[in-house]
Amino acid sequence: MNFDFSDDQKLLRDQARKFLQDKCDRKSVRSILEDHKQNYDVDLWSQISKLGWTGTAIPEEYGGLGLGMLELCVIAEELGRALAPTPFSSSIYIFAEFLKSYGTDEQKKKYLPLIASGEKIGTFALSETNGKPKPSNIKALHTSGKLNGSKNPVSDGESADYIIVAANSDSNSNYNSLSLFIIDRSDPGVNISNLDTIDPTRPACTVGLENVACERLGDEGSGWEMIDNIFNRAAVLFSFEQVGGAQVSLDEAKNYSLERFAFGKQIGAFQALKHKMADMYVKIELARSNAYYGAWALSTDSNELPIAAAGARVSASEAYNFASQENIQIHGGVGFTWEYDCHLFYRRSKLLSLNIGSIRQWKENLISNLEKRNIV
């Protein structure tokens, strides 16, 4: 049994943690939170790109480091711990994974080196309206090589240089009519307008499309299938980010409960709080173990991936939501002040648990994949 990261991977984790403690402290996170003009920490982005993090799991022939998905999981957990305000998830977990899985060799050569070096940023545009994206509410249309429609919200859209857009090639939208297209955001038909989000360190925008030039990614009509696969891959990476944030939420709750005195003792000595923190620990350990299993499935291209990814995603979303909520609760009154950091985690946890589909959706994915496996 070797259900753990290797010593090299743990070394990478320690280095990443140290680096982020130094370069991505709370002050720099807050500078993005409070400055509406900045979408992400440009300095941090350029430094982690120079370290090669952006190219971790991109093959060497396309300008990456050619390490595996396990190394990327390690990085994801550290980014989550540090609340890194960067478009890493959009560009690396999603855009790069789409290209790696479905790009032609030519497309890989064109886009991946720029993504690996951090020089360019990519993202993905699916949602258009309030509620679950599905054939009936995807109106973006691809006709004679041009895209028209409006995507809302698009994570990191304003920072992105390239956007993968999900659009129908038939106005009679169904599960076989969706395709994916890559667009260049400098196209004059792209109209970006920024949206405020529950976590301003992770921005989103509306992307309007008016006769935008595009190139198709992957097979025509297989859009939903590709999205499922890439979201499964991204879900594992997100789950590590979430476990990282959840762990820090617990650590900070614990530290505060040891510093704060009430009724003549440390508040961390009260069972009501001890048991609450024990429950946080339980959820985080379950999430960590589920995330590990997801990492194994992801790194071995196992056909267990849909189940492993959904399990990791649900478990990690629930753990982080719970830990960040109860972190505020344990802090009491100061917990809901702007000054204390609790809200940074509260914002991030909710945003992460929505970004590639809510807990509800992933629970449904989990059970439907278990049904499929049973039939097979």
Partner 1 sequence: MDFNDTPKEAEFRKKVRSFLEANAEKRSTLAAKPKGESGSSISSAGAPETVKGEDAAKLALQDAKEWQRKKADAGFAAILWPKEFGGYGGTPIEQVIYAQEEHDYFVHSGYFEIGIGMLGPTMMAWGKDEDKKRFLPKMITGEEIWCQLFSEPSAGSDLAGIRMKAEKDGDEWVLNGQKVWTSGAHFADYGMIVARSDPTALKHKGLTYFYVDMKTPGIEAKPIKQISGSANFNEVFFNDVRILDSQRIGAEGDGWKVSLTTLMNERLAVGDPPGLDFDQIFEASKEIEVEDGLAVKNSEVRQKMADWYIQSRGLQYTKYRSMTALSKGQTPGPELSISKLVTASKMQDVSSYALDLMEMSGMVHQDKNPILKNLFQNGYFFSAAMRIAGGTDEVLRNIIAERVLGLPQDERSDKKLPFNELPSGKN
Report, in Å, the least distance between residue 262 CB and partner 1.
13
Q: Give 150 or 289: the residue with its C-beta nearer to partner 1.
A: 289
Least distance (Å) between residue 77 CB and partner 1:
14
Instruction: Say if residues 233 and 298 touch (Cβ distance below 8 Å).
Output: yes
Reference 121, options 92, 148, 78; nearest CA is 92
Rounded least distance, CB 371 to partner 1, Å: 7
Q: Beta strand 146-155 with 162-168: parallel, antiparallel or unpaired?
A: unpaired
Tell me the C-alpha distance between 301 and 317, whole Å: 23
User: Residues 190, 42, 100, 243: is their CA dihedral positive or negative?
Assistant: negative
**Which tokens in the block code for residue 17?**
């943690």
3-state secondary structure of 4: coil
148: tokens are 């028209």
The two three-digit tokens of residue 100, written as one number: 């790696």
Q: How far is the CB of 16 from partner 1 (least distance, A)?
A: 18
Query: Least CB distance from residue 290 to partner 1, whole Å?
Result: 5
Backbone angles phi, psi at 155, to 5 degrees: -65, 135
Provide the 3-class DSSP secondary structure of residue 196: coil
Name the residue nearer to partner 1 (CB basis): 94 or 319. 319
* Smaller CB separation from partner 1, 140 or 277: 277
Site residues for partner 1 per CB under 8 A: 1-6, 70, 250, 254, 257-258, 265-266, 268-269, 271, 273-275, 277-279, 281-282, 285-290, 292-293, 295-296, 299, 310-311, 314-315, 318, 360, 362-364, 366-368, 370-371
- Is there a contact between 57 and 76 (Cβ–Cβ < 8 Å)? no
As a residue count, the chain comes to: 376
Handedness of CA 42, 48, 49, 53 (dihedral sign): negative
Contacts of residue 358, defined as CB under 8 A and 6 or more positions apart, other chains included, come to none
Can you read off the two tokens belonging to residue 187? 């196209």
CA distances from 80 to 16, 77, 156 (A): 11, 5, 17
Q: Which is nearer to partner 1, 178 or 253 (CB)?
A: 253
**Shortest distance (Å) from residue 142 CB to partner 1:** 33
> Taking the complex as a whole, how short is the minimal distance between the CB of residue 255 and partner 1, in angstroms?
10
Reading the block at residue 313, the tokens are 């995603």
CB of 180 vs partner 1, minimal distance in Å: 28
